[in-house]
Amino acid sequence: MRKEPIFTVSNLYRDHMDIYGYHFGKGDKSVCIMGACRGNEVQQLYICSQLIRQLKELEERGAIVKGNEIVVIPTINTASMNVGKRFWPTDDSDINRMFPGELKGETTKRIAAGVFEAVKEYSYGIQFTSFYMPGDFIPHVRMMDTGVQNPSLANLFGLPYVLIREAKPIDKVTLNYNWQINGTNAFSVYTSSTDQIDEESAKLAAASVLRFLTRMGMIRYPGHSGYIATVLHENDLASVRTDQAGIYRPCFQPGQEVRRGDVLAEILDPFEGEVISHILAPAEGIVFFAHSQPLVMEGAIIYKIIRRLHL
C-alpha cells in the first residue's frame, strides 16, 4: 500500500489540508474508489476505511492481480468533517457540485479540479455518496443516463437494485457525470445511512466493491455471489409527500413491503402532540427510500416506493 497526497489545499493560518489516496497494486489505472465529499458522510468514510484495510490484506497475500492499480480516497473534505458541517465551512458550497473544477477558482472549485485531475484517467470510478434529502435507502448502485452508461457492469456489484436516473442540469457538475463523459465507467453506491455508521449496510457495500473488483479480474477474493440486481428507472418509483409540517413518526423502513392505503407515517403537532396527518401509501410495492429526520416540512418527500407493476 502506498499512501500519497493527491492534492493539497494551501492555508495561510493553519496546516495545509492534504487529500490522500491509498494505492494498491501497480500498472494500469484500473479503478478509483471515492469516499466522503461532504462533511457528514461518515458512513461513506467508514466504508472506505474498511476497504483500505481489506485491500491492504489482499495485497500482502499477493491477491491484487498484476497490472492493476486501485486507489481509495476516503475523503476530500476533512475541513467540513472536523467542524461537523455537511458543506464547506466558510461558504456552504458543495464540493460534489463543483466538478470538473477550476484551479484558479474558489476553494471548493480548486479542490474539485485537483481531485478530478488525479482521478479522471481511471477506467472505473466508484463513489460512495449521499442523497440531497436526509434519509435511508435500500443499498443500490446508481448510474446517470448520459448515453454512455453500462447497466450490465453495475450488475456485477451484486446489490439488490441498479437505478438509472436521467441527468439533470445540476448533475453536470458532479463527479459521477464528469467521470462518465470523460470516458470512465462511473457508479454511485448508496447505503442505508449517511451521518451514522450502519455496520450491516457498510459490510454489504464493501463486499459489493470487492465482488466487482473480483469479477473485473483485478483482485482474487473468495466472496459470495450477491444478488441478481433489478434494474429500475426513476419513473418506477412513487414519491410520497407530506401534507402537513410537524414531528415525523415513520411506520415503514427501506426494504419493507407496503400495500396501497397502508399508513406509512404519522405527522404530529409539535406543540400539542396530536396526530394531525396520516400519510398513506399510494401504491403497492417496496420501500426504496425513507426520510430519517424527526421533523418534516409540508410537501417534503418522505418515501419513495418501488411500484409493483405485475401482481
Q: Examine the domain organization and report whether 65 and 212 are in the same domain.
A: yes
Q: Examine the domain organization and report whether 204 and 263 are in the same domain.
A: no
Q: Examine the domain organization and report whether 183 and 123 are in the same domain.
A: yes
Q: Examine the domain organization and report whether 117 and 240 are in the same domain.
A: no
pLDDT of residue 311: 42
What's the predicted TM-score (pTM) here?
0.93
* Spatial CB neighbours of 173, under 8 Å, sequence gap ≥ 6: 97, 98, 99
Among residues 141, 153, 6, 143, the alpha carbon closest in space to that of 69 is found at 6
φ/ψ (deg, to 5) at 211: -65, -45
Query: Domain with 133 in it: what CATH number?
Result: 3.40.630.10
Q: Using the structure block, give the residue that is written with the C-alpha cell 493539497.
A: 8
Query: Domain with 244 in it: what CATH number?
Result: 2.40.50.100
pLDDT of residue 309: 58
d(CA 208, CA 225): 9
**Single-letter amino acid code for the residue at 72:** V
Domain that holds residue 292: 236-307
Q: Examine the domain organization and report whether 15 and 138 are in the same domain.
A: yes
User: Of 208, 228, 248, which residue is a domain's last?
Assistant: 228
Among residues 300, 262, 265, 298, the alpha carbon closest in space to that of 281 is found at 262
pLDDT of residue 13: 66
Q: Examine the domain organization and report whether 154 and 34 are in the same domain.
A: yes
Q: Using alpha carbons only, give the angle 92, 95, 96 rounded to the nearest 5 degrees.
A: 125
Instruction: Report DSSP state, residue 219.
Output: B
φ/ψ (deg, to 5) at 54: -70, -40
d(CA 182, CA 77): 23
Q: Residue 293's CB: how many other CB atoms inside 10 A? A: 11
Among residues 99, 129, 112, 120, the alpha carbon closest in space to that of 34 is found at 129
Q: Using the structure block, give the residue that is written with the C-alpha cell 400495500.
A: 259
User: Of 183, 200, 228, which residue is a domain's last?
Assistant: 228
Q: Examine the domain organization and report whether 213 and 266 are in the same domain.
A: no
d(CA 248, CA 266): 6
Tell me if residue 141 falls in helix, strand or coil: strand
User: Of 185, 202, 228, which residue is a domain's last?
Assistant: 228
Tell me if residue 118 falls in helix, strand or coil: helix
Q: Examine the domain organization and report whether 156 and 278 are in the same domain.
A: no
Among residues 129, 133, 141, 136, the alpha carbon closest in space to that of 253 is found at 136
Cross-strand bridge partners of residue 231: 162
d(CA 66, CA 252): 47
- Ordered per-residue pLDDT tens for the chain, 311 residues: 999 999 998 875 667 889 999 999 999 999 999 999 999 999 999 999 999 999 999 999 999 999 999 999 999 999 999 999 999 999 999 999 999 999 999 999 999 999 999 999 999 999 999 988 889 999 999 998 887 778 889 999 999 999 998 888 889 999 999 999 999 999 999 998 899 999 999 999 999 999 999 999 999 998 888 998 999 999 999 999 999 999 999 999 999 999 999 999 999 999 999 999 999 999 999 999 999 999 999 999 999 999 985 44
Q: Examine the domain organization and report whether 261 and 278 are in the same domain.
A: yes
d(CA 70, CA 29): 7
Provide the number of structural domains found in the chain: 2
Among residues 132, 161, 156, 198, the alpha carbon closest in space to that of 286 is found at 161
* Spatial CB neighbours of 281, under 8 Å, sequence gap ≥ 6: 240, 258, 259, 260, 261, 262, 263, 264, 303, 305
Q: Examine the domain organization and report whether 265 and 178 are in the same domain.
A: no
Among residues 39, 131, 128, the alpha carbon closest in space to that of 92 is found at 39
d(CA 246, CA 276): 9
Instruction: Report DSSP state, residue 235.
Output: G
List, in sequence order, the alpha helices (H) in 228-273: none
Q: Examine the domain organization and report whether 68 and 213 are in the same domain.
A: yes
d(CA 6, CA 121): 14
Q: Examine the domain organization and report whether 256 and 201 are in the same domain.
A: no
**Sheet of 246-250, strands arranged across:** 275-280, 263-268, 246-250, 295-296
C-beta of residue 5 within 8 angstroms of C-beta of residue 20: yes
